[in-house]
Amino acid sequence: SAKKAEQRQTMTLKELEDAIQTVAGAVMICYPMGLPPWDPVKDMLEGTEELAGTAASKVVHDPDTVQMFFASKPMVRSNPLSVHTGKNEKTKVVVKLVKKGGHAPAKEPAVDAETQKAMMAFYHKKKQEQEALLADTDDDFTNSSWASSNSLKSSLIGTGGGLRFR
């Protein structure tokens, strides 16, 4: 329950069995004639649920043959959690489960595909702008009147751009 999660208490096997009994009671009230034989809830309540070949079979792991990985490193069962994660209580721990003896699970990408696509588009745009700036020799100013080295002399003599002859 949310209250137990806030108090950081773990669920016991008895509490899980009580929750299953509560579901069984609710099903008995809703279906007094019983569930149909193909209903997966009936199999779950009777303990005859077969997960082989279903998506749920990939989620269920045998506790004796599972290996836990945190930060791409295997976690040793005998060590306390603080050995692997440190003493900070606010650390978020994402543990990956694989079969014992298996390889470390693949790392998740740092950014999702959409963000990476946007970042690559921004990078290429900036690269094109940089290439355009490098290709431009930027010597157009040498033909300007303000950049002429003789402009002071011509303005003092009076032959600057201000005189016109008709």
- H helices present in 33-112, as ranges: 40-46, 81-85
Count of domains forming the chain: 3
The answer to whether residue 87 is domain-embedded is: yes
What's the confidence (pLDDT) of residue 49?
75
* Torsion angle, alpha carbons of 73, 77, 81, 83, to 10: -60
Same domain, 66 and 44: no
Reported pTM: 0.42
Q: What is the mean pLDDT of each run of 10 residues along the chain (166 residues)?
A: 80 88 92 87 81 72 82 86 84 84 80 92 95 76 71 72 59
Q: Could you list the residue range(s) of the whole structural domain that residue 79 is in?
A: 61-105
What's the confidence (pLDDT) of residue 3?
85
